[in-house]
Amino acid sequence: MRIIVTGGAGFIGSHTAVELLDKGHEAIIIDNLSNSSEKAIDRIEKITGKKVRFYKEDLCNKDGLLSIFEREKADCVIHFAGLKAVGESVKLPYKYYYNNIVGTLNLIDVMNKCGVKNIIFSSSATVYGTPSVVPITEECPKGICTNPYGQTKSMIEQILTDVQKADRSFNVVLLRYFNPIGAHPSGLIGENPNGIPNNLMPFITQVAIGRLSELGVFGNDYDTPDGTGVRDYIHVMDLASAHVHALKKIADGSGISIYNLGTGKGYSVLEVIKSFEQATGIKIPYSFRPRREGDIATCYASAKKAKEELGWEAKYDIIDMCRDSWNFQRLNPNGYDD
Ligand code: WQD
């Protein structure tokens, strides 16, 4: 299939583009490079040995988007493009709502105009808010998102659901990621956040490489086995392969489908630190800090539905994730700025 990947120069987008190309699909990347690097495009080509058509474009520029879709005649869109820093979204709500929602509305309008009716959306477990029960299944009700970033994911899910209800020729797959970490085994692409990392793993790898002095552990008084937050970490390569499996649902013309993408196993912050030290032999200094606003104690997936319906399940374990995260960081001490 010919697939337009919005945000395809980003962390999950670039890994998915590699998987698509490796599986014989055509990947066309649209990215405004606001939180990614054009170097990722070169790296994707280096890994796969295949050419990628890349357009530096912003989804908020509808005319620019339309001309790309008119030219490319895509079969499907995988939609990653969006701002995604939880903490930043609390400080800059307008920027997040405008960028993520208007960008998506433009995308849907342009898809309609060009007869592209298949979309896989990069959603997030954050739409469950504080889960009433774990492991979280797709039947769990969506919760109150504690930040504008999460709200935009939930709203975009609703927009796509309503669009598909009104026009049954649309096929929509919503993929709710848990906590993506890791990197391509080559170490050529990986997580490369701007500024001080919000997320746990890039913070750990920057401590390991010496860019940061120690890790602050946000809270050790949660109702969890060791008091620190428990999350379902999933290797970005597993996440990428799930997107290729999700294309099957698109090909089946299945209307709208929702899948949790997690391993079904939760690890605490202290367990991640221990796993990282075991995988790399590098000690990670840390100290306990107050809880981070908006954080929840425990969140991990039931991955049953994706296994049954997509024939997909996560293959990499936490040691693989730590090893590959570190491999990317040690080969790219300053990310793509090297
Ligand atoms: C994980 C655990 C923190 C940093 C968010 C979004 C989700 C997705 C992933 C985009 C928590 C603890 C973290 C640190 C710490 N975003 N932590 N010190 O908050 O579960 O999920 O990022 O795709 O949609 O909601 O991920 O990595 O920030 O935190 O102690 O310096 O690590 O408290 O328990 P989170 P995270």
Residue nearest to atom 21 of ligand 1 (CA): 179
Decide whether any atom of ligand 1 lies within 6 Å of the 269 Cβ.
Answer: yes
- What number does the ligand 1 atom closest to the CA of 272 have? 32
60 CA to centre of ligand 1 in angstroms = 28
Alpha-carbon gap, residue 199 to 85, rounded angstroms: 9
Decide whether any atom of ligand 1 lies within 6 Å of the 80 Cβ.
Answer: no
Decide whether any atom of ligand 1 lies within 6 Å of the 86 Cβ.
Answer: yes
Average pLDDT score over residue span 259-269: 98
- What number does the ligand 1 atom closest to the CA of 12 have? 23
pLDDT in tens, 325-336: 999 999 999 989
Average pLDDT score over residue span 271-294: 96
For the annotated catalytic residues, the residue numbers are 149
- Alpha-helical runs (H) found in 86-235: 86-91, 93-97, 103-113, 148-166, 200-208
176 CA to centre of ligand 1 in angstroms = 15
134 CA to centre of ligand 1 in angstroms = 17
So what's the pLDDT on residue 263? 98
pLDDT in tens, 94-136: 999 999 999 999 999 999 999 999 999 999 999 999 888 899 9
Whether 261 and 274 have beta carbons less than 8 Å apart is answered as: no
Which residue is associated with the tokens 């200094």? 285
Packing angle of the helix pair 318-331, 269-280 (nearest 10 deg): 60
Residue nearest to atom 8 of ligand 1 (CA): 179
Alpha-carbon gap, residue 67 to 110, rounded angstroms: 9
- Of 31, 70, 67, residue with least CA distance to 52: 31
Give the global pTM.
Answer: 0.96
* Cβ-based burial of 316 (10 A; exposed 0-12, middle 13-18, buried ≥19): buried
Decide whether any atom of ligand 1 lies within 6 Å of the 295 Cβ.
Answer: yes
Whether 10 and 34 have beta carbons less than 8 Å apart is answered as: no
Q: 189 vs 73, 85, 142, 144, 154, CA distance in Å?
A: 28, 20, 32, 34, 28
Percent of the chain residues past pLDDT 90, beyond the cut = 90
pLDDT exceeds cutoff 80 at 338: no
Q: 255 vs 111, 176, 245, 305, CA distance in Å?
A: 16, 17, 16, 16
Q: How confident is the model at residue 45 (pLDDT cuts 50, 70, 90)?
A: very high
Alpha-carbon gap, residue 110 to 58, rounded angstroms: 13
Decide whether any atom of ligand 1 lies within 6 Å of the 267 Cβ.
Answer: no
Alpha-carbon gap, residue 76 to 146, rounded angstroms: 31
pLDDT in tens, 314-325: 999 999 999 999
Decide whether any atom of ligand 1 lies within 6 Å of the 67 Cβ.
Answer: no
Substitution site in 124, 127, 178, 179 for ligand 1 pocket (most atoms within 8 Å of beta carbon): 179
Residue nearest to atom 33 of ligand 1 (CA): 218
336 CA to centre of ligand 1 in angstroms = 22
Alpha-carbon gap, residue 140 to 149, rounded angstroms: 20
Q: In the beta sheet, which residues pair with residue 234?
A: 180
Alpha-carbon gap, residue 236 to 126, rounded angstroms: 17
Amino acid letter, residue 125:
A
So what's the pLDDT on residue 269? 98
- What number does the ligand 1 atom closest to the CA of 122 have? 23
pLDDT exceeds cutoff 90 at 189: yes
Which residue is associated with the tokens 């990614």? 36
Alpha-carbon gap, residue 224 to 222, rounded angstroms: 5
- Of 236, 230, 226, residue with least CA distance to 188: 236
306 CA to centre of ligand 1 in angstroms = 23
Decide whether any atom of ligand 1 lies within 6 Å of the 218 Cβ.
Answer: yes
Alpha-carbon gap, residue 288 to 224, rounded angstroms: 15
Alpha-carbon gap, residue 262 to 72, rounded angstroms: 33
Residue nearest to atom 34 of ligand 1 (CA): 229
Alpha-carbon gap, residue 47 to 299, rounded angstroms: 33
Residue nearest to atom 4 of ligand 1 (CA): 200
Q: How confident is the model at residue 64 (pLDDT cuts 50, 70, 90)?
A: very high
Rg (CA), the chain: 19
203 CA to centre of ligand 1 in angstroms = 10
Packing angle of the helix pair 11-22, 39-48 (nearest 10 deg): 30
